[in-house]
Structure 1
Amino acid sequence: MSSTCQRPWILRSGTNVGDKLTSYVKTIPEVQKCLNLAYWNILDLTESSQIKSLFSMSEWEEMVESFNNEVKLIESDINGVVEYFFEEVDKITKKDDKVIINAIDRITPEIIEKNQKIKLSDEENNIITVLRRAVVTYAENLERLDLPISEADFDNAFPNMLAKRFLNREELKMDVGEIACWASAHRRNEDRSVVLRARVGQKCDFRGTLKDSINRLEALIGLRSGGLPEPHQKKIHEDKVDLCVAMRDILYTFFKENSKAPSSDVHSTFVFGIHSWGWVHNIYVMDCKATNVLRLGRISHARMPNTLKTLSVLESFYVLFTDLQATLNTICERTNNISVSHSRAHRNRKRKNSEHVREKGGSFGNPSQTPANKKSRKYVGP
């Protein structure tokens, strides 16, 4: 989406981040462009980023600090009953493997009340029920694990299962399988002749759409890289790039659909991506900081339990997804307000000198198109 408005990101040192990325992209060999996030206008702020060497240490720290201050999860209030439940799980996992699953299945609200000498509310009873079902399901899937296991089977048994159990179905429509990102499909078919075959969107394995969002924002998408045994590093890196490009397309579509909303509000929008491989589980977040500068950061890096003895690790996943859900609720409210501002733009048409007239629509820039020789893309380390 081209725009006459330019939104630069100038660091304290005077460095223009957008210009630095543009200069770097020109040095990338054609066959390597697809696998370099910088080509897609994405500034990877994760610790394994290739682009870190372009900036001084102080500049890099400034960019990371800015991102962490502006893009983060909401820390929700976690009910104390969660701690009580996983204390019971921790005790049980110290026993023989053969009794662990049945013992966890017998953790009832009455057991918690007796051991902790408390009285639980209906909400706390429901939390225990959700936790017990999720942990028992995970444990059963783990016990039945027979290698090798396909990508789809692992995804549905572990990462997708946790997301569907711990996220709110009433507020988030969750789709799993070989599905396409709708925003990616929209971007790929933009200005494309109607007589040509429609292009599908970037593939993802999990898609969470905000039900109450005016724009049906795909605020959370996920991609699984292979089953078990763990795939080669090339596959992991390729899938990370594909996930990030889809996240970029979601933001691009949102910017385009709200071109008359206040710029600062539009640029405050961010979306999430889940990437997993082996037993590793990462959650990324992306926003558009400036023209042709999208920031990618990692807000979570964890390992899923791979034995019955480590099931209590799932406590961190419950907390993580609870914070994620709270943040998604805020994103839904914020993006709806942005859409309302966009729809009310007619009010300010004649107020040229009014304080109501502000910079509109943000400045996403021009999204990079897929190189013609994508199939021959060459891997050059993460």
Structure 2
Amino acid sequence: MSSTCQRPWVLRSGTNVGDKLSSCVKTIPEAQKCLNLAYWNILDLTEDTQIKSLFSTNDWEEMVESFNNEVKLVESDFLDVVEYFFDEVGQITKKDDKDIINAIDRLTPEIIETNRKIKLSDEEKNVISILRRAVVTYAENLERVDLPISEADFDNAFPNMLAKRFLNREELKMDVGEIACWASACRRNEGRSVVLRARIGQKCDFRGTLKKSINRLEALIGLRSGGLPEPHRKKIYEDKVDLSVAMRDVLYTFFRENSNAPSSEIHSTFVFGIHSWGWVHYIYGMDCKATNILRLGSISHSKMPNTLKMLPVLESFYVLFTDLQDTLSTICEHTNSVSLAHSLIHRNRKRKNPEKAGEKGGSFGNPSQTPNKKSRKLNYVDSSLN
């Protein structure tokens, strides 16, 4: 999507981030383009990034600070009963392994009321029921783990199971399995003849679509890298690139569909990606800061419990997903507001206000096209991971 306006990102030192990124792209060998996020106009601000060496320490710290301030989770107000429940789970996990699952299954709201000498509301009792079912299911799945375990089996038993139980189904449509990102498919087929075979979108294992968004925004995309034992780091890195490109395509589609919205509003839109491998669980965020500059940064990094004794760790996952759900609700309201502004562009035309003419549509830039498939078959350069 080309744009007549350009939105630069210039740091306090005078460094033009877009120029640095484009200079880096010119040095990427053809065989490595697919595996370099810079080629996709993505500024990788995570810890294992390759592009950090292009910037001074002060510039890098400024970019990371800017991202953390603008792309972050809402801190939700979770109920005290969450702490009460996991305190009880912590006591239970100190017992013999054979009794843990049954003991948690018997952990009713009435028991917590008795132990804490409190009276729980209906909402708090419902939270306990949700937590108890999720923890018991996780524990049962954990007990049945028999290595090796496939990617799909692990995904559905652990990461996807937690997401589907802890996120709000009334607001988020959740799809799992070998599925494609719709925004990615839309971008790949843009300008393509209708008589040619349609291209599929970037593959993902989890897709969360905002039900109340007029754009049907795919605000949350998940990708699992292998089952157990843990896959090679090449597989992990390749999947991180695939996930990032899918997130980029979601933003690109949103920009294209709301090309008349105010620039500042559309550029403040961001989406999330979940990436897991082994027992590690990452949540990434991405926004379009300026023309041809999409920022990718780490929002959360945690480990899923791999023993029954460590089940209390799931408290952090519940709080994390609660924050994530509240943030997704905020994103839904924001994107609907952007779409409304896009639909009201005729008002500026009627008023003939030239001062507003350069403030609409944002400036996503031109998305890089997928390189020839042959480049994916060429030898992978291990240095790209260092």
- TM-score, normalisation: structure 1: 0.99
Residue in structure 2 matched with residue 178 of structure 1 by the alignment: 178
Residue in structure 2 matched with residue 197 of structure 1 by the alignment: 197
Post-superposition Cα deviations, 1:83-140, rounded to whole Å, max 9, x if no partner, equal 0000000001111100000000011000110111100000000000000000000000
Residue in structure 1 matched with residue 12 of structure 2 by the alignment: 12
User: What is the rounded CA distance, in whole Å, between the counterparts of 2:39 and 2:356 in structure 1?
Assistant: 37
SS in 1 for 2:119: coil
Residue in structure 2 matched with residue 370 of structure 1 by the alignment: 370
Structure 1 residue 340 displacement after superposition? 0.6
SS in 2 for 1:218: coil
Could you list the runs of 4 or more consecutive aligned residues of structure 1 that deviate by over 4 angstroms after TM superposition? 354-358
Q: Percent identity?
A: 82
Residue in structure 1 matched with residue 303 of structure 2 by the alignment: 303
What does 1:317-356 align with in structure 2 at a 5 Å threshold? 317-353=317-353
Asked whether 1:294 is paired with 2:315, we answer no
SS in 2 for 1:207: strand
Structure 1 residue 282 displacement after superposition? 0.2
Structure 1 residue 354 displacement after superposition? 6.3
Structure 1 residue 254 displacement after superposition? 0.1
C-alpha root-mean-square deviation of aligned residues, in Å?
Answer: 1.0
Structure 1 residue 376 displacement after superposition? 2.0
Post-superposition Cα deviations, 1:154-205, rounded to whole Å, max 9, x if no partner, equal 0000000000000000000000000000000000000001110000000000
Structure 1 residue 18 displacement after superposition? 0.4
SS in 2 for 1:349: helix
Structure 1 residue 350 displacement after superposition? 3.1
SS in 1 for 2:351: coil
Unaligned runs of 5+ in 1: none
Residue in structure 1 matched with residue 271 of structure 2 by the alignment: 271
Post-superposition Cα deviations, 1:280-334, rounded to whole Å, max 9, x if no partner, equal 0000000000000000001111000000000000000000000000000000000
Residue in structure 2 matched with residue 25 of structure 1 by the alignment: 25
Is the CA contact (8 Å cut-off) linking 1:130 and 1:165 kept in structure 2?
A: yes
Asked whether 1:35 is paired with 2:35, we answer yes
Quick one: which amino acid aligns to residue 249 of structure 2? D
Is the CA contact (8 Å cut-off) linking 1:283 and 1:299 kept in structure 2?
A: yes
Is the CA contact (8 Å cut-off) linking 2:258 and 2:342 kept in structure 1?
A: yes
Residue in structure 1 matched with residue 257 of structure 2 by the alignment: 257
Is the CA contact (8 Å cut-off) linking 1:262 and 1:358 kept in structure 2?
A: no
User: What is the rounded CA distance, in whole Å, between the counterparts of 2:199 and 2:381 in structure 1?
Assistant: 25
Residue in structure 2 matched with residue 164 of structure 1 by the alignment: 164
Is the CA contact (8 Å cut-off) linking 2:34 and 2:376 kept in structure 1?
A: no
Is the CA contact (8 Å cut-off) linking 1:181 and 1:202 kept in structure 2?
A: yes
Is the CA contact (8 Å cut-off) linking 2:5 and 2:358 kept in structure 1?
A: no
Is the CA contact (8 Å cut-off) linking 2:263 and 2:362 kept in structure 1?
A: yes
User: What is the rounded CA distance, in whole Å, between the counterparts of 2:320 and 2:199 in structure 1?
Assistant: 35
User: What is the rounded CA distance, in whole Å, between the counterparts of 1:291 and 1:301 in structure 2?
Assistant: 29
Post-superposition Cα deviations, 1:55-97, rounded to whole Å, max 9, x if no partner, equal 0000000000111111110000010000000000000111110
User: What is the rounded CA distance, in whole Å, between the counterparts of 1:177 and 1:128 in structure 2?
Assistant: 29
What does 1:54-203 align with in structure 2 at a 5 Å threshold? 54-203=54-203
Structure 1 residue 48 displacement after superposition? 1.1
User: What is the rounded CA distance, in whole Å, between the counterparts of 1:279 and 1:130 in structure 2?
Assistant: 22
Structure 1 residue 47 displacement after superposition? 1.1
In structure 2, the CA distance between the partners of 1:23 and 1:78, relative to structure 1 (3 Å rule), is same
User: What is the rounded CA distance, in whole Å, between the counterparts of 1:355 and 1:7 in structure 2?
Assistant: 16
Structure 1 residue 347 displacement after superposition? 1.1
Is the CA contact (8 Å cut-off) linking 2:30 and 2:375 kept in structure 1?
A: no
Is the CA contact (8 Å cut-off) linking 1:8 and 1:18 kept in structure 2?
A: yes
User: What is the rounded CA distance, in whole Å, between the counterparts of 2:294 and 2:210 in structure 1?
Assistant: 22
Is the CA contact (8 Å cut-off) linking 1:234 and 1:379 kept in structure 2?
A: no
In structure 2, the CA distance between the partners of 1:50 and 1:353, relative to structure 1 (3 Å rule), is same
Quick one: which amino acid aligns to residue 375 of structure 2? K
User: What is the rounded CA distance, in whole Å, between the counterparts of 1:260 and 1:2 in structure 2?
Assistant: 13
Unaligned runs of 5+ in 2: none
Structure 1 residue 358 displacement after superposition? 5.6
Quick one: which amino acid aligns to residue 112 of structure 2? I
Structure 1 residue 355 displacement after superposition? 6.2
Is the CA contact (8 Å cut-off) linking 1:279 and 1:303 kept in structure 2?
A: yes
Structure 1 residue 352 displacement after superposition? 3.0
Structure 1 residue 356 displacement after superposition? 5.7
User: What is the rounded CA distance, in whole Å, between the counterparts of 1:356 and 1:263 in structure 2?
Assistant: 10
SS in 1 for 2:326: helix
Is the CA contact (8 Å cut-off) linking 2:31 and 2:376 kept in structure 1?
A: no
Residue in structure 1 matched with residue 230 of structure 2 by the alignment: 230
Is the CA contact (8 Å cut-off) linking 2:181 and 2:204 kept in structure 1?
A: yes
Quick one: which amino acid aligns to residue 79 of structure 2? N
SS in 2 for 1:221: strand
Residue in structure 2 matched with residue 47 of structure 1 by the alignment: 47
Is the CA contact (8 Å cut-off) linking 2:184 and 2:249 kept in structure 1?
A: yes
Quick one: which amino acid aligns to residue 214 of structure 2? I
